[in-house]
Amino acid sequence: MADQDVLKLNAELSLLLAEYWHEVDSNMGRDARRYYTEDAEFHGPAAAYIGAGKIQQFYDWRIAQGPRLAVHSFTNLRAWYTGPDACEATYYMMIYAANGEKPLPTHPPITISLLTERFRRGSTGAWLCSYRQFVTRFEGGTPATNPNLDDVPAQ
């Protein structure tokens, strides 16, 4: 049986992840940077972004590509402490996404991935993501967005 601290951690991270992925889906990640430590790493299947600025550059790039609808749905969250102000978590992510305006035709998720993440408490006491890695388990027919930003000028 899990102790109360671990149960509380799982609840806190579940809420944090729901807020983050809602930001990505409803605001295209315009405020994504505030969920990361300055030295955060984001590892996607095709590229990695090191630093909160580079992660935000990805979302800014995505916005510049035009309208896209996305739903990032997560399940099976498991979190544990790795120190007094540090923790790790894993969960599964199903991404439904396509370019265009709503409503779009439905289809299976474009990816189902296992995510591994690390968090540290920020100066305000809030959890911030310091490491996020997607490992794709299933892929659909619509390509995910994970460009190599070394070839894209910062905006």
What are the extents of the domains in the chain? 4-147
Residues 6+ apart with CB under 8 A from 7: none
Q: How many other CB atoms sit within 10 Å of the CB of residue 80?
A: 13
b/e burial code for range 9-33 (CB count within 10 A of at least 16 → b): bbeebeebbeebbebbbeebbeebb
Task: Tell me what the mean pLDDT of segment 134-155 comes to.
Answer: 79
Q: pLDDT tens digits for 43-91?
A: 998 899 999 999 999 999 999 999 999 999 999 999 999 999 999 999 9
| pLDDT value at residue 18 | 98
Residue 1 has pLDDT above 80, yes or no: no
**Per-residue pLDDT for 109 more than 60?**
yes
Q: What pLDDT score was predicted for residue 12?
A: 97
Write down the number of H helices and E strands in the chain.
2, 6
What does the pLDDT look like over 25-35, one tens digit per residue?
999 999 999 99
Share of the chain above pLDDT 90, in %: 86
Q: How far apart are CA 8 and CA 35, in angstroms?
A: 19
Overall CATH class of domain 4-147? alpha beta
- Confidence (pLDDT) at 144: 80
Q: Is the pLDDT of residue 151 over 70?
A: no
Q: What is the mean pLDDT of the chain?
A: 93
